[in-house]
Amino acid sequence: MKRHAIIAANWKMNGSLSLIKEMVSGLNSIVLAENVNVVVCPSFPFLSAFALNAENENLQANIYLGAQNVSEHKSGAYTGEISTDMLNEVNANYVIVGHSERRSLYKETSTQVAHKVKTVLSAGLTPILCIGESEAERTAEQTETVLASQLQPVIDEIGIENFTDVVIAYEPVWAIGTGKTASPEMAQATHLFIRQFLANADKNIADKVPLLYGGSVNAANCEELFAQTDIDGGLIGGASLKVDEFKIICSSAKGS
């Protein structure tokens, strides 16, 4: 089954206008394998700057702009929130939804995340749906239960048929920003579970969904991770703030 490989950069609350320029220039100089897309998700104030720099630099077509979050509401009295219409106006294509930091720090529930996925799809944008377990949940052998509880509300909300337009990022919470990384074998086993869980609803759809791994991915471990059968790329945190390292990661991705 042909799936896009996707490398997505999540800058979180980091970055600057100068990094935007450096990143656009750096990405324009790399050669990507066929069927590989790159997505850069800077903070909201820098979305327009990325789009403008990308246009001025004539950035190659398979490099896209993404946002780190979005409101499930279309408009209204929601101070500080960002709508899908706003993201469309700045030429964003992807949106990270349900990141573990949004779930833990801002108490987003899996039901709310499901509503956001539906809103993103309705606006013609592509959601990068984040799921993952804590270290305590992994130790208690609850990983599959937790992932199922995060996926099922989205399936119920949008229907399995719409997962052809969804990207899933598996991020074990214990590996985000800690320097810890799931072994390639452990990551593959979990990605296989995710694909099989989707296949319970529709196998043909499950085979088409890109599954990304996130959690301290760097230039040293990316190639082995991306070589796994069900790992179709990565959601990259800290390493995506280092242009040279991020370029290595992007160049290591191989479209299946």
pLDDT of residue 1: 53
- Whole-angstrom Cα distance, residue 241 to residue 239? 5
Confidence of residue 202 (pLDDT cuts 50, 70, 90): very high
Mean pLDDT of 12-23: 98
Which amino acid is present at 222? C
Tell me how many domains the chain contains.
1
SS3 75: coil
pLDDT of residue 176: 76
pLDDT of residue 252: 96
Mean pLDDT of 9-25: 98
pLDDT of residue 133: 96
Mean pLDDT of 103-118: 97
- Whole-angstrom Cα distance, residue 82 to residue 67? 10
Domain that holds residue 26: 5-252
List, as one string, the DSSP characters of 150-216. HHHHHHHHH-GGGGGG-EEEE--GGGSSSS----HHHHHHHHHHHHHHHHTT-HHHHTTS-EEE-SS
Percent of the chain with pLDDT over 70: 99
Question: Exposed (0-12), middle (13-18) or buried (19+): which is 106, by Cβ within 10 Å?
Answer: exposed
Closest Cα partner for 6 from 115, 155, 165? 165
Q: What is the CATH number of the domain that holds 150?
A: 3.20.20.70
Instruction: Retrieve residue 55's tokens.
Output: 């246009």
The answer to whether the predicted template modeling score (pTM) of the entire model surpasses 0.95 is yes
User: Which position has the token pair 């800077």?
Assistant: 42
Among all residues, which ones are annotated catalytic? 99, 171
Mean pLDDT of 52-71: 96
pLDDT of residue 67: 98
Mean pLDDT of 170-190: 87
Closest Cα partner for 193 from 147, 136, 130, 140? 147
Closest Cα partner for 114 from 127, 104, 100? 127
- For 169, how many CA atoms within 13 A lie in the half-sphere containing its CB? 29
pLDDT of residue 233: 98
Mean pLDDT of 183-189: 94
pLDDT of residue 175: 79
Task: Indicate the average pLDDT of the chain.
Answer: 95
Per DSSP, what are the bridge partners of residue 61? none
pLDDT at position 76 over 80: yes
Question: Exposed (0-12), middle (13-18) or buried (19+): which is 34, by Cβ within 10 Å?
Answer: exposed
Which amino acid is present at 11? W
How far are the Cα atoms of 13, 45, 117, 196, 243 from residue 42, in angstroms, in the given order?
Answer: 8, 8, 19, 32, 13
Percent of the chain with pLDDT over 90: 92
